[in-house]
Structure 1
Amino acid sequence: MHISDLATGEIIAKHIIRLEKGQIVKNTDHYRDKAQRIAALEADISQLLGNTESADSLCALLKVIAPEIYKDQLAGTKQVLAAIASSMA
């Protein structure tokens, strides 16, 4: 099933129609608590940088630069910082 804008004809959403009865398909992404994951990533970055103001500044900068992909930026930053920390150990 395709749902489109009547004025422009642009497709807004696509859904698969199930032939089986009683099948409820849910997008589980709507039920995730993203704030919890973001807080954990911010805490991890803060720990990797030694709980300094630099960590808070870095997180704030990432949030301002790309708010739509903030969580992804935090995850990438954590991965890079962890790799640097492990190579220095």
Structure 2
Amino acid sequence: MKRRYAALAAPVDAQGRSIDDVAADFVAFPEVMAIHHVTGAYQLEILIAAQDFGEVSSRVIGHLEGIAGVAGIHVGIANDILSYHFDGGSK
């Protein structure tokens, strides 16, 4: 059986630091698959992927919440990915 992954879409409340600086710190984490600047109640939304939900909640979220300027990370959508194909380029 192929490896399964857990993915979470999580809005981020960024305060006291520029959104670009907070986003730049998120880039250093291999589990952060995408970072979106959004409008509304939150300033950023991140897509996090890991081996399982336990890894995301216990390790990844804790480290990301420790970044300067992150006032909170709120899990919005959680997915159990059974199959994923990405060719890395556009055609």
TM-score, normalised on structure 2?
0.28
Higher relative contact order (CA 8 A, sep 6+): 2
In terms of fraction of residues, the more strand-rich structure is 2
In terms of fraction of residues, the more helix-rich structure is 1
Structure (1 or 2) with the larger CA radius of gyration: 1
TM-score, normalised on structure 1?
0.29
